[in-house]
Structure 1
Amino acid sequence: MTSLRNRIAGFMILAIATVIVLASLVAMQMMQRPLPETAIIPVARQIAWNVRFAQADPQAAADAGIAFADAPAAGLPQDRSTQRWSRVLARQGMDLPLAVSADPAGTTLRISVDLGDRWAVLPLPDLRPPRGGWRIFGAWMALIVAGATVVSLIAATRITGPLRILESAVDRIGRDGVLVPIPETGLPETQATARALNHLSARLKSAMESRMRLVAAAGHDLRTPMTRMRLRAEFVEDDEERGKWLADLAELDAIADSAIRLVRDQVAQGDTQDLRLDRLVADVAQELDAQGYAVAVGPLAPLTVAADPLSLKRAVRNLLINAATHGKAARVALSRNADRAALLIEDEGPGIPEPLMERAFEPFFRVDEARRKALPGAGLGMAIARQIIEQSGGQVLLENLRPHGLRQRVVLPLR
């Protein structure tokens, strides 16, 4: 019972059942036995009158329906009732031996009074609580709890409706990070919640698209001045100075190109299709090895995933380049883990400090700013890789190795 709905329902059931139990116990206590002046004493007076009538005129008493016998009425002796009625009748001035008995079923009581030469047998009203009272009470409480459960669950469901919409909305977030539109139906509260979430989703989507257009426009507009600067740099007579200008311009061009590619991948997703991940990894490793990167290929299990081939190939390439560049050498292996594919990329570098582990996926992030000039790249490779993999329904996890090295774990759902 961890959900809010179940907690509210449980509280309502407990409250209703507690009130009913207390009310029922009070009612049972008040109605369990009638007051003496309203039941026992009038019955005792009637019995005493009948006994005196039988003593005074036996024949008339027999004609009136009073039974006579040579012995007390047969049946189950009721010792406690006999003692109680003896005390009550003694207060009415009738101090005669008597016996109370019940039939074998225990439902009918009779009182036998010794008249000396015979016994007068009179019916006795049963003032005891009904048999099976606790079973009846238990059945009553079970019925109350069942009814309270139904009512409480319905009420709790209505109360927590908007919260369930929030939970459903989170589960329905698309691969692009935008909420899927929620139907604005149901109760007024539910409609208001769905309307608010749809409005929030629309505003978030508009803000993200505006940001993407800004980044893409900035990256595109940088191309023109960089081209003019490159042309001017060609006329620099000092070879060393010209080389520095061209290197800086190449870095700027790589940054602009990476920014445009990041936005393009986020806005325009390619067609998803089934592809062999082991073959894709092998092709990327062979391509990088031909370019001079140290990439060692381990066991590659034949696994199929659903993704855009070009985007996923770019993501794997970025991760392998990151390992081979910053970690001196890259080792890649592919295995199956339950219903998911696990791609492991390990290197022999210094790793990433734990406090900075999550920041490794931020655009333009460098663990050591002093190495920015020493190592190639715009600092967007990890961000692009993570975005592509998450759009494919997977995730990227980083873990430091001991004594040194970094492990990049890519997990993707299998087809």
Structure 2
Amino acid sequence: MKKLVERLWPDTVASRAIMVLVAALLAFHLLGFWAYRVGVESLATAARDRGLAEHIVSIKRAIASAPAGPERDRAAHDLSSASLEVHWSKVSLVLGTAPMTERTKTMDARLKELAPELAAESFRVGFADDGALGSGNADAYRHMMLVSVQLADGSWVNFSSSALGAHQNIDWSVIAVTICFGVGIVVVALLLLRWATRPLRDLAIAAERFSLDQTPQPLPENGPIEVRRAARAFNTMRERIQRLVTERMQAMAAVSHDLRTPITRLRLRSELLNDDTTRDLIDADLGEMEGMIDSTLEYLRGGASSEAIRAIDLASVIETIVDDHLDQGYRVALIGSTSAPVLGRVLSLKRAFSNIIGNAIKYGHAANVAIAESGDQIVVTVEDEGPGIPQADMERVFHPFVRLEESRGRETGGTGLGLTIAASVIQTHGGRISLVNRAIGGLCVTVTLPRGGSRIQSAKLVLDQSTDPADPTRQIA
């Protein structure tokens, strides 16, 4: 039940405010309509009772002044109306033994209060439903109120009214006007709420588009005071993050520069060694250290680069990577489209696909690369013949410094940043990367990048931000 309520409850501030407003309006109109009905009925009842009391007194006086016999009966019929029938007779229409119910007592007291003259005379009030006529004639006068007033000669003037027990019909015109007012208020409130919550939508969009590759663009601090405070806090947070990342990158650049100097000296000194085996081992260790430094710096850049964005042929870039691995004697195959135009940075994309194809060769012993077009997208798949990746580790392998092979031997050594850097570059270019184990064994890496159209233009707008001269990421070469 709770989940159903949460599913039906709207998510946006504007929709929730509209729902609250509609509920409040509905409650207000229902309460107002109830108060209106109670007030109108009270006024109508008071006017009806006063008119009944006045009619009873005036008709009783008129009949009492007429001669006894047919004249009084004729006068009673002449004074009758559609809502009040009058009869003159020798007996009372209301039985003296009729039970006194609550409504009978209330009406009796009400009429005597409005017409004090009736209190001094023999006066009976009853309702046919309560047995005031006796069981024999009750059906003929169902739902009627009966009043009997005794004259001085002992005869009775009997009154019966069916309108006194009737309920008023609902005034649909009032309900229609109320509904129209409610709809108008909701429409105006919807427009005003959309205008009032626009700063919140802008804040959400700015948070979603936040990236270290973009030149910081301050979020406008307008709207209500709470929204202005949130926008100001967001701007401050973004500036702090940018400053923190810049300082971290500058520190790593300085450390890398300081490390490269002794590495270069060690490499020069190794050339003086006469033992070729030892020299080769030292050169391999130094090369591995340089590779670790390069990978760490590339990771810290987060896919950012000072390289210009331009139209490139991704198929040619991948073909160059494949040829390099073929020259080194690895089993690599390339099939599919010979042309795959995308918008991006050549070096960044080459580094990303080099990492993906390199991992396929390192862990899967072979790489089968396929390039295809799907609508306005370029799809590149890289399949290997390795053991694959456990399903529980599919997301974890994209985390920095994660290596499923823990030996870190020279054959499969690395920093665990290859897929992290590749995913960062692909996402920066507006693409997606996914992993899936093949049914026949091995891993399949699928990379999707936009080609042409509106998506690639949107990607260009994002990527162009990092080419700004003020971009702090340009401080690392």
3-state DSSP of counterpart to 2:392: helix
Answering whether residue 205 of structure 2 is matched by residue 197 of structure 1, we say: no
Q: TM-score w.r.t. structure 1 length?
A: 0.75
Shift of 1:374: 1.7
Partners of 1:17 and 1:379 in 2: CA distance: 61
Q: Secondary structure at the match of 1:183?
A: coil
Q: Does 1:373 align with 2:382?
A: no
Q: Say which of 280, 293, 318 aligns to 2:317.
A: 280
The Cα shift of 1:179 comes to 6.0
The percent of aligned pairs where both chains have the same amino acid is: 31
**Counterpart amino acid of residue 224 in structure 1:** T
1:12 paired with 2:25, answer no
Partner-residue secondary structure (3-state), 1:343: strand
Contact 2:433 2:447 in 1 (8 A): yes
In structure 2, give the amino acid aligned to 1:25.
W
Q: Deviations over 1:308-349 (max 9, x none)?
A: 223212222221122122211111223344543322111111
**1:256–1:407: structure 2 CA closer, same or farther, 3 Å change rule?**
same
CA distance in 2, matches of 1:304, 1:42: 93
Give the superposed CA RMSD: 4.0
Where in structure 2 are the equivalents of 1:4-403 lying within 5 Å? 4-5=12-13, 6-32=15-41, 34=43, 38-46=47-55, 49=58, 53=62, 87-88=145-146, 90-91=148-149, 95=157, 133=171, 135-146=172-183, 149-150=186-187, 153=190, 163-174=200-211, 176=213, 180-263=217-300, 266-300=303-337, 302-375=339-412, 379-403=416-440
In structure 2, C-alpha distance between the alignment counterparts of 1:359 and 1:227, rounded to whole Å = 35
User: Equivalents in 2 of 1:190, 1:132: separation in Å?
Assistant: 46
Q: Distance in 2 between matches of 1:85 and 1:259?
A: 94
Judging changes above 3 Å, is the alpha-carbon distance between structure 1 residues 363 and 372 closer, same or farther for their aligned structure 2 residues?
A: farther
SS for the counterpart of 1:306 is: strand
Residue 2, structure 1, aligned to residue 10, structure 2:
yes
Change (3 A) 1:214 1:55: same
Aligned 8 A contact 1:44 1:89 in 2:
no
d(CA) in 2 for partners of 1:7, 1:99: 53
Take 1:39 and 1:362, find their aligned partners in 2: how far apart are those partners?
84
C-alpha offsets along residues 173-232 of structure 1, whole Å, 9 cap, x if unaligned?
247277642112233222221111111111101111111112222222211101221223
Query: Equivalent residue of 1:39, what SS?
Result: helix
Change (3 A) 1:30 1:239: same
Alignment check: 8 A CA contact 1:44 1:92 kept: no
> For 2:421 and 2:233, how far apart are their aligned partners in 1?
31
Q: Mark the CA change 1:69 to 1:380 in structure 2 (over 3 Å): closer, same or farther.
A: closer
Q: Deviations over 1:37-88 (max 9, x none)?
A: 6533534533662586489689xxxxxxxx99999999xx9xx9x9699855
Whether the 8 Å CA contact 1:33–1:129 is kept in 2: the answer is no
Alignment-mate amino acid for residue 49 of structure 1: S
Contact 1:13-1:152 at 8 Å conserved across structures: no
Query: Could you say if the C-alpha distance between residues 73 and 171 of structure 1 is closer, same or farther in structure 2, counting changes exceeding 3 Å?
Result: same
Which whole-Å CA distance do the structure 2 matches of 1:301 and 1:13 have between them?
Answer: 60
Amino acid at match of 2:314: L
Query: Is the deviation greater in 198-207 or in 302-311?
Result: 302-311
Classify the secondary structure of the residue corresponding to 2:407: helix
C-alpha distance in 1 between matches for 2:149 and 2:185: 50
CA distance in 2: counterparts of 1:86 and 1:2, whole angstroms:
53
Indicate if the aligned counterparts of 2:146 and 2:161 stay in contact, CA closer than 8 A. Answer: no
- Deviation for aligned residue 1:30: 4.2
Cα contact 1:274–1:306 (8 A) shared by 2: yes
CA drift of 1:300 comes to 2.6
CA distance in 1, matches of 2:329, 2:413: 14
Per the TM alignment, residue 3 of structure 1 is displaced from its structure 2 partner at its CA by 1.6
**Whole-angstrom CA distance in 2 between matches of 1:229 and 1:244:** 12
**Alpha-carbon spacing, 1:398–1:180, altered in 2? closer, same or farther (3 Å):** farther
| TM-score (norm: length of structure 2) | 0.66
TM-fit CA distance, 1:410 = 0.9
Check conservation: 2:149, 2:158, Cα contact below 8 A.
no
Distance in 1, matches of 2:354 and 2:19, equals 54
Q: Deviations over 1:267-307 (max 9, x none)?
A: 43422223333343334333432332322123238543221
| Mapped partners of 2:426, 2:150: distance in 1 | 98
Check 1:301–1:49 CA distance in 2 against 1; reply closer, same or farther (3 A cut). Answer: farther
Measure how far apart 1:391 and its partner are.
Answer: 1.2
Partner in structure 1 of residue 114 of structure 2:
none
Question: Does the aligned pair in 1 maintain the 2:360–2:383 contact within 8 Å?
Answer: yes
Q: Secondary structure at the match of 1:369?
A: coil
Q: Once the two structures are superposed, what CA deviation does each residue of 1:376-401 show, in whole Å capped at 9, x if it has no partner?
A: 65544323222221111112222222
- Other structure's SS at 1:271 match: coil
Residue 15 of structure 1 aligns with an amino acid whose one-letter code is: A
SS in structure 1 at match of 2:263: helix
Task: Give the SS at the match of 1:218.
Answer: helix
1:152 CA drift (Å)? 5.5
* Structure 1 residue 406, shift from structure 2 partner: 1.1
AA aligned to 2:206 is A
CA contact (8 A) 2:360 2:367 kept: yes
- In the aligned structure 2, how far is the partner of 1:273 from the partner of 1:282? 19
Moved more, 178-187 or 391-400: 178-187
